[in-house]
Amino acid sequence: MIRTLLLLALLGFLSACGATMPPKLHPDLLRQPSPEAASELERVERQIIEFPSLKDKEAQALFAAKTELGSKEQELTQSLKAQKIQKSAFGAAQKANDQAQMDLAQGEINRLEDQINQQTAQRNYLKAKMDAAQAKVDLLEAQLALQVAEQLLQQAEIAQTFLESEPGRTLKGFEPVDLSLYRTYKTNQQKKLAEVEKSTQSLVSAFEGMAKLQPKGAAPAVQAAPQAATPASPTLATAPQPKASPAPQSASSTLESADSTLQP
């Protein structure tokens, strides 16, 4: 009973995700599967039932990555605001011809510049980490959809075989099963899975490239995505020190600079 309810919940989840599924089959048509068909159907159902626990683990990792990214973005925002204040202070000191205050403000501008560069690198790394975590969840969902499509096709074949049998021909009110609907649905899920696998590989590879720039032991190892390449441990770079000058100097990246290049 629990297995049946779980499978129905998963079918409902896939329907809510916009998947156009073939018609459900009446339980009366699934009463007499062959031993081979029953065994294969049982195997697929066992795999489907494992997905919720696998997805829960990846969903927790995704939540943690989003939380980390949000915290770092707040730090970066505060640093940018602080640097803006120091630039205003520099301008006011410059108008007052107060060299001491100009030097003090410029020193803070330079310090914040280094801090912003570092925080931007960290932010970019955490964004890549979050994208990789999201890809793992998406991949599991695509794998689940394919397993469900396989289950539906097997059930359709069992139902068709039953309707063609002597007991099945005596049933009233049942139309022949259109296997093409179930085969097409499975083919579509196979194509979607291939697309998600390609996207996941791209995101994991991007994260792996950033990870190679990180000093050894600077960040925890990243778990591999299901059926995807294993990312290495991530890193972040140290920005070059800007030189003080009579006017405020800034080359800091903004919050939108997720694609900026990390320097080893």
**Residue range 222-247, pLDDT digits in tens:** 455 554 333 333 332 333 333 334 44
- Residue 174: what pLDDT? 83
Q: Tell me how far apart the alpha carbons of residues 223 and 63 are, in angstroms, rounded to a whole number.
A: 15
What is the pTM for the complete model shown? 0.70
Positive/negative CA dihedral, 83, 84, 87, 88 = negative
Q: Where are the domains of the chain?
A: 51-246
- Residue 22: what pLDDT? 93
* Contact between 146 and 190 (Cβ < 8 Å): yes
- Residue 169: what pLDDT? 74
Positive/negative CA dihedral, 227, 232, 234, 240 = negative
What are the pLDDT digits (tens) for 117-150?
999 999 999 999 999 999 999 999 999 999 999 9
* Contact between 219 and 242 (Cβ < 8 Å): no
Spans of the chain, pLDDT less than 70: 1-19, 168, 214-264
Residue whose structure tokens are 């778990």: 223
